[in-house]
Amino acid sequence: MKKMNIQKRILVTFLMVGLLTVVMIGLVSFKGLYDMQKSANDSSSQMGDTVATYAGELATEKTKTQIQENAKEKARQIEREMNMIREDTEYLANVMTRILNNPEGYSAKQLPNPLERRMAPGEAYLLVTSAVKQDCDNDIVQQEIGLASNVADDMEVMATFYKDYQTSCYFGSKYGYYITLECYDSDEMYKQIHSENYHNNYDPRKRPWYKKAVSEGKTVFTDVYLGNDGYPEITCAAPYYDKNGLAGVAGLDVHLISLYRIASDRSLGTSNINFAINSKGEIIFSSDKEGCLSTGDGKRSLLKVPEESLAREAEHMAKGGSDVVPVTLNGEEYYLAYAPMPSLGWSIGTMLKKEEVLAPVDMAREDVMAHANDFKKYIRWEFFKDSLKIVVIILIIAWSLVYCSRWMAQRLVKPITTLTEGVMDIAKGNLDRKMDIATGDELERLANSINNMTKDLKTYMNDVANATAEKERIATELSLAQVIQEGMLPNIFPKFSGNPHYELFATMDAAKEVGGDFYDFYNVDENRVALTIADVSGKGVPASLFMVISKTLIKNYALIYGMEAGTEKNVWGQSIVRANEQLCANNDEMMFVTVFFGVINIKNGEITYVNAGHNAPLIGRKQGESIRWEYLKKSKKNYMMGVNELAPYEEEYLKLNPGDMMFFYTDGVTEAMDKESHLYGTERLLATLQSVGTDDKSVKDILSAIREDVDRHVAGATQSDDITMLGIRFLG
Residues 282, 244: one domain?
no
The SS3 assignment for 291 reads coil
17 or 381, higher pLDDT: 381
Give me the half-sphere count of Cα atoms (radius 13 Å) on the Cβ side of residue 180: 27
Reply yes or no on whether the pLDDT at 626 is more than 80: yes
pLDDT tens digits, 563-612: 765 556 788 999 999 999 999 988 888 899 999 999 999 999 999 999 99
Residues 181, 318: one domain?
no
pLDDT tens digits, 313-341: 888 988 888 898 898 888 888 888 899 98
Residues 652, 525: one domain?
yes
Residues 242, 327: one domain?
no
Residue 684 domain-assigned (yes or no): yes
% helix, strand, coil for the chain, step of 5: 50, 20, 30
Confidence category of residue 557, pLDDT binned at 50, 70, 90: very high
The CATH code of the domain that includes 106 is 3.30.450.20
Reply yes or no on whether the pLDDT at 141 is more than 80: yes
Considering the chain, what percentage of its residues have pLDDT values greater than 70?
78
Task: Kindly report the three-state secondary structure assignment for every residue of 398-447.
Answer: HHHHHHHHHHHHHHHHHHHHHHHHHHHHHHCCCCCCCCCCCCCCHHHHHH
Predicted local distance difference test score (pLDDT) of residue 253: 85
Reply yes or no on whether the pLDDT at 525 is more than 80: yes
Predicted local distance difference test score (pLDDT) of residue 418: 72
Residue 190 domain-assigned (yes or no): yes
Query: What would the DSSP string read from start to end of 159-170?
Result: HHHTTTTT-EEE
Residue 551 domain-assigned (yes or no): yes
Predicted local distance difference test score (pLDDT) of residue 529: 94
In whole angstroms, give the CA distance from residue 168 to residue 475.
96
What residue numbers bound the domain in which 309 lies?
A: 264-357
| Boundary residue ending a domain (357, 376, 391) | 357
Predicted local distance difference test score (pLDDT) of residue 1: 52
In whole angstroms, give the CA distance from residue 688 to residue 710.
10
Residues 294, 247: one domain?
no
Residues 507, 538: one domain?
yes
| Boundary residue ending a domain (258, 287, 310) | 258
Reply yes or no on whether the pLDDT at 513 is more than 60: no
Q: pTM of the entire structure?
A: 0.44
Residue 394 domain-assigned (yes or no): no
In whole angstroms, give the CA distance from residue 498 to residue 524.
18
Reply yes or no on whether the pLDDT at 380 is more than 70: yes
Residues 278, 313: one domain?
yes
Reply yes or no on whether the pLDDT at 485 is more than 80: no
List the Cα angle 498/500/505 in 5-degree steps: 50
Residue 658 domain-assigned (yes or no): yes
> pLDDT averaged over the chain?
82
In whole angstroms, give the CA distance from residue 409 to residue 374.
52
Q: Which of 139-143, 189-193, 338-342, 614-618 has the lowest mean pLDDT?
A: 189-193
Residues 227, 276: one domain?
no
Considering the chain, what percentage of its residues have pLDDT values greater than 90?
35
Q: Phi and psi dihedrals of 422, rounded to 5? A: -65, -45
| Boundary residue ending a domain (306, 341, 357) | 357
How many domains does the chain contain in total? 3
pLDDT tens digits, 191-223: 777 888 888 888 999 999 999 999 999 999 888
Residues 200, 317: one domain?
no
Residues 725, 615: one domain?
yes
The CATH code of the domain that includes 608 is 3.60.40.10
Residue 96 domain-assigned (yes or no): no
Residues 227, 338: one domain?
no
Residues 290, 220: one domain?
no
In whole angstroms, give the CA distance from residue 707 to residue 713.
10
Residue 35 domain-assigned (yes or no): no
Residue 576 domain-assigned (yes or no): yes
